[in-house]
Amino acid sequence: MNSLFVLFAAVIPGAAAERWPLRAILARAVASPVRGGQLARGGFCYYRADMQSLTNKRILVGVTGSIAAYKAAELIRGLRDAGAEVRVAMTRGASEFITPMTLQALSGHPVHQKLLDTQAEAGMSHIELSRWADCVLVAPASADFIARLAQGRADDLLSAVCLARDVPLALAPAMNRQMWADAATEKNVRTLQQRGVLMFGPAAGEQACGEVGPGRMEEPAELMRRVAEVFETGLLAGKTVLITAGPTREAVDPVRYIGNRSSGKMGYALCAAAVEAGARVILVSGPSTLATPERVERIDVESAEQMLAAVLEHMDGVDIFIGAAAVADYRPRQSERHKIKKDQAHLTLELERTPDILATVKSRRPRVFCVGFAAETANLDAHARRKLEDKGIDMVAANWVGPAAPDTGGGFDSDTNALRLYWADGELDLPVASKDRLARQLVASIAQRYERRPPGRRQHHNIVELRGGTPRKT
């Protein structure tokens, strides 16, 4: 991978610009890989390290009052280059070191500063942001902010978001070495860590005050690596997962088919989540324009018959099968060789059942952990439980579709969804969220149920629940 020294520039107002020399702020050289031999966009450095886990993630970057705030510009650009969507929340003190306009330009979104924002839903921007994010990263996190967070205060937007979140929270401390070593700071850090808050750093080195020691904010590249690790849970390390996704098309004639409105987004999100969990992932996809997730082996098919054949061909060594594809239930009994002409007032098609992929896999491979999907317009519980029992599978992920799912746009071609998981002796609701987040939650639940299978049918690992995150294998 080629590397270049790329010029980094940020707008730093006031005394901060006087304290830090030009070489440190306006000409900060960073060894940064470049994409396809091209220079970084806009003259800002960005990263192309192995950061696939950041693709499509929603990262809320919090910026507090610290001289290290200038590094937030580089961090935001790097996160976006790695494929993440970034929003920014600033404290009042942060705006004394770097302008909101700078961070707005780099993130591509307005910077959030007000606790009660009339532009936000119901004026509650802290709730809106906390529900939007997949991870909250406060960088830099000043000693004052760490203290207020440890006390549970919510008197500004950023601290309120941190309290209202249900996703991982990471802090990148930045302060003088004596402030970092102070007993009060040490106690506050321990308190937050006991609550599941992650601490990224600090690093040691020369500080703005001229002293040397621990307290420097970690470099943006290191913070990006640590954030990527948050999503790499290792829950399915060493496992092979086969996932079907998208619709199937059952040919009526050479130009027409019977199909459905599936976009494949949920299945593709599951592939990405399973890769993050450490699995080898095989995707058997019906017709879809979606890009193949990184590190996923993809086999393209069109009909239910082709999908079944591809699945059975690749089942050797598979530990978990997830049937997320919306397979057509029926197909024309006979497909015409030539286009049917519009010369009759009525046309009757005789249909027959397509093969049952889930039931076939479970009957032929009873030791494989099988997960099915159920999209329903009525009687969700009854239909999901029946599918679980009739097919003899291990879990069903059910969701409402059509008019029964107004909160998710009917469930078709939507970026959000809600699921209810069913297994033999339990169930779990996963509320409305982005399909990427739902996929990670579903993969975590699958890993837990897989580990709890009867002895002899699985390998044993310990799983620990982390507040605001996904389970992590230890």
pLDDT, tens digit (0-9, with 9 covering 90-100), for 117-126: 666 554 456 6
Evaluate if residue 6 carries a pLDDT over 60. Answer: no
Q: Which of 20-29, 284-293, 447-456 has the lowest mean pLDDT?
A: 20-29
177-208, pLDDT tens digit by residue?
999 999 999 999 999 999 999 999 999 988 88
pLDDT digits (tens, 9 = 90+) for 194-248: 999 999 999 998 888 888 889 999 999 999 999 999 988 889 999 999 999 999 9
User: What whole-number distance in Å separates Cα of residue 199 and Cα of residue 138?
Assistant: 10
Residue 26: Cβ-neighbour burial (10 angstroms; 0-12, 13-18, 19+) = middle
Instruction: Indicate the fold that domain 240-332+350-473 takes in CATH.
Output: Rossmann fold (3.40.50)
Bridge partners, 61 (sequence order): 88, 137
Does position 51 have pLDDT exceeding 80, yes or no? no
Closest by Cα among 227, 393, 232 to 322: 393
Residue 347 clears pLDDT 80, i.e. is over it: yes
Please state, for a pLDDT cut of 70, what percent of the chain lies above it: 81
Average pLDDT estimate for 328-332: 94
- Identify the residue with better confidence: 158 or 469: 158
Q: Which of 173, 206, 210 minimizes the C-alpha distance to 188?
A: 173
Whether the Cβ atoms of residue 137 and residue 223 lie closer than 8 Å to each other:
yes
What spatial distance separates the first Cα and last Cα of the chain, rounded to whole Å? Answer: 33
**pLDDT the model gives residue 415:** 87
Per CATH, the homologous superfamily of domain 51-231 is Flavin prenyltransferase-like (3.40.50.1950)
Q: What is the pTM of this model?
A: 0.75
Domains of the chain, by residue range, sit at 51-231, 240-332+350-473
Higher-confidence residue: 135 or 405?
A: 135
Please count the CA atoms within 13 angstroms of the CA of 420 that sit on its side-chain side: 17
Q: Residue 452: its pLDDT value, please?
A: 87
DSSP 97-143: TS-HHHHHHHHSSPPB--SB-TTSGGGBHHHHHHHH-SEEEEEEE-H
Is residue 462 over pLDDT 50? no
Question: Is the pLDDT at 330 greater than 60, yes or no?
Answer: yes
Three-class DSSP category at 417: strand
pLDDT band with cut points at 50, 70 and 90 for residue 391: very high
Question: What pLDDT shows up at residue 29?
Answer: 35
Is residue 131 over pLDDT 80?
yes
At 35 the pLDDT is: 35
The CB density around residue 398, as the number of other CB atoms within 10 Å, is 22
Residue 466 has a pLDDT of 38
C-alpha span between 369 and 116 (Å, rounded)? 47
Instruction: Report pLDDT for 428.
Output: 95
Q: CB under 8 Å to 89, separation ≥6 — which residues?
A: 60, 61, 62, 63, 111, 112, 113, 129, 157, 158, 161
Structure tokens given for 209: 């005050």
Q: Which residues pair with 206 in a beta bridge?
A: 212
Residues noted as catalytic = 209
CB atoms within 10 A of CB 281: 26
Q: Answer whether 51-231 and 240-332+350-473 agree in fold.
A: yes
pLDDT at 124: 53
